[in-house]
């Protein structure tokens, strides 16, 4: 889905380049589903990267904590597997399994459409995205 996949591309590239120390795990957690709760349970820190419509210039990356964001996503109610990331994080908190620190990176998409590649707007800033995520780990 073109720019919708920006988080996956970033995670894959960081892993491919071996940019993180061995004590830091990097995973593609897919779309918002209950598996996210189990994958992040009781971690010290989790950094999540995803496409986010924030009303910014396409390609803009912003860093958030959980207290900084509010979902405006309208749920379709058509799938039992659909889950809003922020709702899942709140559930994790309720279950007392939320990591000690949660960092969210949102990247404003240019286009969300059928396709396998990022739009040039996001491709041009790709190294900036990688640097931002890596900087979270010192």
The C-alpha angle with vertex 30 and arms to 127 and 69, in degrees rounded to 5, equals 70
Minimum mean pLDDT range among 31-35, 43-47, 121-125: 31-35
Q: Which of 73, 90, 92 is nearest to 82 (CA)?
A: 73
CATH of domain 2-135: 3.40.50.1450
pLDDT at 11 over 60: yes
What does the mean pLDDT of the chain come to? 87
For 2, 8, 57, 60, 137, the CA distances from 53, given in Å and listed in that order, are 14, 17, 10, 10, 25
pLDDT at 33: 73
Percent helix, percent strand, percent coil in the chain, to nearest 5: 35, 15, 50
Reported as a single tens digit per residue, the pLDDT across 50-76 is 999 999 999 999 999 888 876 555 544
pLDDT at 83 over 70: no
Stated pTM of the model: 0.85
Cβ atoms of 115 and 2 within 8 Å: the answer is yes
Where are the domains positioned within the chain?
Answer: 2-135
Residue 10, CA atoms < 13 Å, CB-side half-sphere: 28
Residue 11 CB contacts under 8 Å (≥ 6 apart), including other chains: 26, 27, 28, 49
pLDDT at 32 over 70: no
pLDDT at 78: 36
Under the banding of pLDDT at 50, 70 and 90, the label for residue 101 is very high
pLDDT at 80: 38
């Amino acid at each position: 889905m073109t720019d919708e996949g920006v988080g996956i591309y970033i995670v894959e590239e960081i892993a491919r380049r071996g940019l993180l120390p061995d004590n830091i795990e990097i995973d593609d957690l897919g779309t918002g589903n209950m598996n996210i709760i189990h994958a992040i349970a009781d971690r010290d820190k989790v950094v999540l990267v995803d496409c986010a419509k924030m009303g910014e210039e396409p390609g803009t990356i912003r860093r958030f904590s959980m207290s900084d964001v509010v979902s405006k996503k309208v749920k379709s109610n058509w799938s039992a597997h659909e889950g809003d990331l922020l709702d899942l994080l709140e559930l994790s908190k309720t279950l007392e399994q939320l990591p000690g620190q949660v960092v969210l990176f949102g990247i404003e998409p240019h286009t969300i459409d059928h396709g396998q590649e990022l739009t040039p707007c996001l491709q041009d800033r790709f190294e900036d995205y990688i640097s931002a995520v890596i900087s979270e780990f010192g």
